[in-house]
């Protein structure tokens, strides 16, 4: 899968990334390369948690076209 990540440099010099398609999925790194590794782990973790929730029946997923 391919996700877009919004990257900003904060006041302390860290790169902070967020994945708009995955609410609450954020990470940071001292360099862009470190951020890439960290955000990849965050995405994988986010997907794993949501998959587990779906298997337990705690959430329902639907598709909407507009």
pLDDT along the chain (66 residues), means of 10: 97 98 97 98 95 78 84
pLDDT at position 58 is: 65
Rounded to two decimals, what is the model's pTM? 0.83
CB-CB contact of 29 with 10 (8 Å): no
Model pLDDT for residues 52-64, shown as the tens digit of each residue: 887 887 677 778 8
The token pair at 61 is 């997923």
User: CB-hemisphere CA count at 13 Å for 7?
Assistant: 17
Helices (H), the chain: 32-56
Which one, of 23, 49, 17, lies nearest residue 36 by Cα?
17
């Amino acid at each position: 899968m391919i996700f877009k990540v919004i990257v900003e440099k904060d006041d302390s010099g860290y790169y902070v990334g967020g994945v708009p398609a995955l609410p609450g999925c954020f990470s940071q790194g001292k360099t862009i390369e470190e951020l890439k590794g960290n955000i990849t782990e965050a995405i994988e973790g986010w997907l794993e948690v949501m998959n587990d929730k779906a298997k337990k029946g705690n959430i329902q997923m639907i598709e909407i076209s507009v």
